[in-house]
Chains A and B, each alone.
Chain A
Amino acid sequence: MVPHILWTDVLIYLLLAVIAGFAVYASRHEHLRTPWRQVTRRPMAMGALVVLLAFVAVGLLDSVHYRPRLPGSATQTSSEVRSALDALLSPLRRRTEKTYSAPFATHAHGRETVLRPDGALARAYPRLLHGGAHLTDGESRLADILVKVATATGTVLLLWLPLAAWVAWRQRSPGDGWAGGWQRLWRGESELPWRTLLLTLVVLLAAIANLAWLSAYYHVLGTDQVGQDVLLKSLKSVRTGLVIGTLTTLVMLPFALFFGILAGYARGLIDDVIQYVYTTLSSIPDVLLIAAGVLSLQVYMAHHPETFDNVTTRADWRLLFLCLILGLTSWTGLCRLLRGEVLKLREADYVLAARSLGASHFAIMARHLLPNVMHIVLIAVVLDFSGLVLAEAVLSYIGVGVDPTMDSWGNMINGARLEMAREPMVWWTLGAAFLFMFTLVLAANLFADAVRDAFDPRLRR
């Protein structure tokens, strides 16, 4: 096993470092701690955060890549790049069927010619290789599923109850017993919204446990055309969605910050030039600019195959480039906002004070202006996230999104369009993409709203 680091991985680790650094910085400054504390008091936001963290965990697991050693060789490694998530889900990967099968199906979706025991050929729905293979003929599938759901949910509840009890114990007021703690918890009177947190947690854990338990016996979300488990595809798509949503802002942020603050602070010719650049970029319709960029990249890649030797590397480059070009289109809005704010701030007393104390222009921009526009940046970053995740689906449909070989919700939806026209209809790929995307985007929207309410001075009460 040899570690294999993709470019997007590097940026993801960098992003984690930035977030960690920001967390440390925020915890030391009261004016940043207060709004964050306000966010933690919002039940919806905290519930959404729990869901988001689950997605992030999947995405991070999928960002640790390695090349497995070839069997029987000490030094040779396979050219196939795998991730920790692949290793974790390898049972799902191995259990492939021949072609489509519905969720929880035991028989194939389409009729095939099969050899009957008596030697005659017949058209029938053959048994699946793996889905429900543990069931003997005549055994009820529904009863089996219900037993498994009950077991998994029961186990989760057993684990969760002590946790809830512990929280309730911590919540009791002095001189008050268990009952008081429970009551406070149940009525939502605790400082942190523990009721929502605990409920979201138990639902999430139950869902995970059920999926894990059931997918060992069934294809919970069905299989696709080549018989691959749709649940696996959906989980692999999480990373793509998260990368598009976060790295895009990460790569555009330095430019937006630097040019936005510079334009507002320097004014004059520099301001004119920067304004010209972002007006030009923003006057091109986003989709068309992205299309133009990706088309050029496709031609470039086709003519430089030696740089992109590996399927995973090529898909990764394309993903990274997509982030770059998406960042190029979304950069301008933030830049304009920052310029406007800095134009106002540069007349503030503390800037004048800094200047009269002999601070250099760079120091004023970096130490005095930058911290005071950070709330705008933060709001823009969290609000952009869900829009970018949604944009990925549209771009993949148009054909200028991520690489077609890459797992992504956009590619799933794109493929599902033809499946919807089949008779009988194949709906589960679309359903799975919808389920995962909707959950992520909804959670992100709810969380972003809370962050905006807490940080936007105009909304602060």
Chain B
Amino acid sequence: MMAYVLRRLLYAIPILIGVNLLTFWLFFFVNSPDDMARMHLGMKRVTPAAIAQWKEARGFDKPLLLNREAAGVEKLTDTIFFRHSLRLFVFDFGRAEDNRDIRREIGERMGPSLAIALPSFLVGLLTYVSFALLLVFFRASYVDVWGVVLCVVLMSISTMFYVIGGQYLIGKLWSLVPISGYGDDGPGAIRFLLLPMAVGIAAAVGLRTRLYRTFFLEEINKDYVRTARAKGLNEWRVLFVHVLRNALIPILTGVVVVIPALFLGSLILESFFGIPGLGSYTIDAIHAQDFFVVRAMVFLGSVLYIVGLILTDISYMLVDPRVRLY
């Protein structure tokens, strides 16, 4: 298995170079560094000297890909691509527009993101699976039919409405929890997390319940289920032990891949609820047109996605002894 993981990790390198090239092309070819300098210094009445200074401060006065004036290896290394894009590989993200170190910022903001994303992920998964099994338990009855209709209705509502509705009802009208904010003083901080968690879970409940229901229904007519019932097991045990275990593979396909990316947090939830995590960091960067932060997040996101894919394969092996990785 180690060989498999190692090979997959090596295979990730060309993909990450591709990601790098793409963002590099978007940020440096579509727009020249001059354009970016003007954007940040103000559109009008920018002196060429100011632009040159801006570029020099950030090391953008070098050629993009190939430095013809340099000698030897420096032809390739003394360029913007090498100095800025390839450094991402050692997680050196450089500095943001406001001159703060992006890597440190990411390290600080990971905690809040994780504090909200991890519990909602776990509680959410439990909720969706339970609801789906409930629908399957009542399959081909009115509970099932109307349950599915309700799922379709719920998934037709935009996440934004769940957030705004939740904030208004629970936060403002009933005053159960604070509308937004974040505290890191231990137990007291939980009340800030309850609402975003509930909203995050509710927003996906329709889609995921319906999806898992189809996974379970695909298993329900198989021989082993009949055998289990014939043994005299009750329906709950059949569903929660036998069917659930066998339906794990399709469920894991969509679930495990997002686990590493939980660090990145949710853009919408964090910005609506004022949680100082990586999601709101990204949004702020987008609003401020901070290309460096966006580029760092793109790179980080791709890395975590690839790790997620590898984890998915490993999880297959764990739940299904027939799967071997090599």
Q: What residues of chain A have their CB less than 8 Å away from a CB belonging to chain B? A: 276-277, 279-285, 287-289, 291-293, 295-300, 302-303, 386, 390, 393-394, 397-400, 413, 416-417, 420, 430, 434, 437-438, 441-442, 445-446, 449
Contacts and interface: CB of A to CB of B under 8 A. Distances in A.
A5 to B, nearest CB: 26
Contacts of A282: 305
Given A302-B43, A393-B158, A417-B164, A296 B26 contact: yes
B155 interface: yes
Nearest to A279: B15
Contacts of A434: 157-158, 161
Contacts of B39: 299, 302
A295 B289 contact: yes
B267 interface: yes
11 contacts: A280-B15, A280-B18, A285-B305, A287-B267, A288-B294, A303-B35, A394-B160, A398-B283, A430-B164, A441-B157, A445-B152
Contacts of B158: 390, 393-394, 413, 434, 437, 441
B17 to A, nearest CB: 9
A276 B171 CA distance: 47
B306 interface: yes
A10 to B, nearest CB: 24
Contacts of A279: 15
Interface string B136-171: 000000000000000011011111110010001000
Interface string B302-325: 100110000000000000000000
B287 A441 contact: no
B1 interface: no
Contacts, number: 120
| Chain A at the B interface: SS class | helix
Given A276-B15, A292-B298, A303-B31, A420 B168 contact: yes
A398 B264 CA distance: 15
Given A280-B19, A284-B19, A296 B30 contact: yes
A397 B268 contact: yes
A294 to B, nearest CB: 8
B19 A390 contact: no
Given A283-B19, A292-B27, A434-B157, 8 more contacts: A280-B18, A285-B261, A288-B298, A295-B291, A300-B31, A398-B283, A438-B157, A441-B157
Contact of B268 (A285, A394, A416): A394
B103 to A, nearest CB: 17
Contact of A299 (B23, B31, B294, B302): B31
Contact of A442 (B30, B156, B283): B156
